[in-house]
Amino acid sequence: MKYTLEYPSELPDAVDDVVSGGRLIAGVGAGYLRSEFSALGVDFDRRAELLDEALGALRSIWTDPETPVRGRGFEAVGPVWLQPPAQRPHPPIWIGGNSKVALRRVVDYGSGWMPLIAPAGMASVIRTAAIQDAEQFGAALDELRARLADAGRDPMSVDVQVVCPHTDIDDEASLRHALDVLDELASYGATWAVVHVDGSSPRAALDFITFFGEAVVRTSRRAGPA
């Protein structure tokens, strides 16, 4: 996931989109660690404003590179002829966050939403609204879809990504828990899930992906994108 910077750059994402054969999804969020912003000399308290500005600039550069783009911390006053992305008009932009501002940002800029379902204490740490369970997730998604409809957008056109619980592929109970959680979230409208794989080695990662796909994804009563 990308976080707010003082200026946007579409080049790395565009290159990744080309190299991946048009499979890039650009996930963005406002960020929550003051230390990261301080390290870059960026005003933490302006992060929401900067993110909105950067999203508008990125979309403009991706779709119309000849039109000048200006922001508070950047400007591209001439044609921006960098690597164009493979996907047209641009890669999908998925917005992270649970707040009302994040939902508004999905409506304005996004083709996907990435909520965090976690205890209230964790939500407080990362400076977002709490979504603690599937029922609260469903209510938040209903609100997002209502906002999309009010803006004249198809409420079902936006993907919704959730995070799969930590899964031990050698533990049948752990696999069953992951399947139950994903099925419940899918029943409320989740369309994608992020799965944390075993990263101890390339082989371990591939084995995890293969086994998880067979044991959970193909078994899911609501199997969709994986």
Q: What does the pLDDT look like over 3-40, one tens digit per residue?
A: 444 444 555 566 777 777 888 899 999 999 999 999 98
Within-domain flag for 219: no
Within-domain flag for 204: no
Name the average pLDDT for the chain.
86
Q: Which of 196, 193, 201, 203 is nearest to 223 (CA)?
A: 193
**pLDDT at position 226 over 50:** no
117-149 pLDDT, tens per residue?
A: 988 888 888 889 999 999 999 999 999 999 999
**Residues 211-215: what's their mean pLDDT?**
89
pLDDT (0 to 100) of residue 147: 98
User: How many structural domains is the chain composed of?
Assistant: 1
pLDDT (0 to 100) of residue 6: 47
97-122 pLDDT, tens per residue?
A: 999 999 999 999 999 999 999 888 88
CB of 184 within 8 A of CB of 133?
no
**Residues 219-225: what's their mean pLDDT?**
58
CA–CA separation, 93 and 103 (whole Å): 13
Within-domain flag for 39: yes
Could you tell me the sign of the dihedral formed by the alpha carbons of 4, 182, 191, 83, in that order? positive
**Residues 154-168: what's their mean pLDDT?**
95
| Range of weakest confidence among 15-19, 24-28, 81-85, 205-209 | 81-85
Within-domain flag for 61: yes
Residues 6+ apart with CB under 8 A from 137: 115, 117, 131, 162, 185, 188, 190
**pLDDT at position 77 over 80:** no
Within-domain flag for 91: yes
**pLDDT at position 63 over 90:** no
**Residues 55-70: what's their mean pLDDT?**
80
**Residues 143-157: what's their mean pLDDT?**
97
Within-domain flag for 105: yes
Within-domain flag for 16: no
CA–CA separation, 180 and 186 (whole Å): 10
Position with higher pLDDT, 216 vs 220: 216
- The CATH number given to whatever domain includes residue 113 is 3.20.20.30
Within-domain flag for 156: yes
Domain span at 108: 25-195
